[in-house]
Amino acid sequence: MLSLILTQPAAFMSALLSSDTFDSFLLEEAQIKTAVSWQLDGRLNRDFYDTDVWDDPAQRPWPNIPWSEIRPMCRDLIKGKRAPVSMQFVLMLKPELAGKLIGENVPVRALLLSVRGEGKELRLFSAVDFRTFSMDKEPEQTWNTAVLKFLDNKGIAYEVQ
């Protein structure tokens, strides 16, 4: 796991909520505390979709909602004169990109980024969700390296904890 402090929170939040910077991710879950608390489960609801849409991987390629589709709603929940009391976003790299990064035969369910904000502090954590127990730390090391490279390429300022 990688633990980072995001040193320019406003710039990071702009990249997260107002640009396509994180559109290669799906939403796993989100929690936003403002005047009320919002909890979002990123898993798609089977009952909402017609069978032909649910069963067609071209129309519903992932089990979770793309960040690009839910991002505007999250931005609307946060925007305003007052900062949220706290927030957390757990994003999952799209499975086809995760497979390219760490290999298709690695027992990994998801490559995750968790953004946590409380008060004026904003942190980012990386994590690997393995399908089964594994002593192999290579997927985690590969993901951590990829996260740092991604942040550097996007001009996102951070300090490693």
Query: pLDDT tens digits, the chain, 161 residues: what are they?
Result: 999 999 999 999 999 999 999 999 999 999 999 999 999 999 999 999 999 989 999 988 999 999 999 999 999 999 988 889 999 999 999 999 999 999 888 889 999 999 999 988 999 999 999 988 888 889 999 999 999 999 999 999 999 98
> For the chain, which residues make up each domain, given as ranges?
2-156
- The answer to whether the beta carbons of residues 111 and 102 sit under 8 Å apart is yes
Query: Token pair for residue 67?
Result: 């960040």
- Enter the pTM of the model: 0.94
The upper half-sphere exposure of residue 78, i.e. CA atoms within 13 Å in the direction of its Cβ, equals: 25
Q: Count CB-CB contacts under 10 A for residue 133.
A: 6
Distances (CA, A) of 151 to 46, 64, 101: 34, 23, 16
Paired tokens of 34: 């403002």
Structural tokens at position 103: 């290999």
